[in-house]
Amino acid sequence: MSVNKKIVSDLVANQIGFVTTVPCKQLAGVIEEIDASDEIYHIPANKEDEGMGLCAGAFMGGKRPAIIMQNTAIGVTINTLVTLTQFYRMPLPMLISYRGELGEPVACQVEMAVHTKALLAQLNIPTYHFHREEDVEELDAILKHTFMCNKPVAILTDAAFWKGY
């Protein structure tokens, strides 16, 4: 099974039926799989904080949500993560492309990469880092953990995990 299919199959197995995405080159394959899935309502967002609002509504409507976005979005969404997702205690798995790590061709991406884990730590967001392909085996447990504890949880996926892009 491809890593993209494995990710979507874990989302579906965990009853995640509402996924919002803002694209990243590294995430193109998984977004394509999400879009093709009959069991997931895929709603592209124009900005990641908007996406988190959609996810909050979906959760209160009885659907399990998830967001797929780039790590630059941490800068965009801090207020929403704190005053909506965390303040109201809502679960939100965040599958994040970790741009700016080894293999990154775009220098500017490194500028946000150096802040990514520090910001997530400052926000007390449980954070997992997928570096090798087999790390995806933990995704199922991470999703269960997210809906157990009702918190936003970050899954950082770097270029090595995606085998370049």
Among 90, 94, 95, 154, binds other proteins (CB under 8 A): 90
Q: Site for other proteins (CB under 8 A): which residue of 87, 103, 121, 122? A: 87
* Residue 29 engages other proteins in binding (rule: CB under 8 A): no
Interface pick for other proteins out of 28, 54, 78, 119 (rule CB under 8 A): 54
| Residue 107 interacting with other proteins (CB under 8 A) | no
Nearer to other proteins, 65 or 100 (CB): 65
C-alpha angle 69-72-78 in degrees, rounded to nearest 5: 90
Q: How many CB atoms lie within 10 A of CB 4?
A: 19
Whether 156 and 139 have beta carbons less than 8 Å apart is answered as no
Q: Judged by CB under 8 A, which of 38, 46, 102, 107 binds other proteins?
A: 46
Q: Which residue in the set 12, 44, 104, 140 belongs to the binding site for other proteins (CB under 8 A)?
A: 44
Neighbouring C-alpha atoms within 13 Å toward the C-beta of 155: 23
Q: Contact between 163 and other proteins (CB under 8 A)?
A: no
The correct pick among 6, 9, 12, 63 for binding other proteins (CB under 8 A) is 63
Q: Which stretch binds other proteins (CB under 8 A): 26-34, 40-48, 115-123, 135-143?
A: 40-48
For the chain, report the end-to-end CA distance as a whole number of angstroms. Answer: 18
52 binds other proteins (CB under 8 A): yes
The angle formed by the CA atoms of residues 140, 142 and 148, to the nearest 5 degrees, is: 105
Nearest to 131 by CA among 101, 161, 154: 161
100 near other proteins (CB under 8 A): no
Please, which residues have CB within 8 angstroms of residue 85's CB and are 6 or more apart in sequence? 52, 55, 56, 92, 151, 152
Residue listed under structure tokens 């500017």: 108
Q: What residues line the site for other proteins (CB under 8 A)?
A: 18, 41, 43-47, 49-63, 65, 79-80, 82-84, 87-90
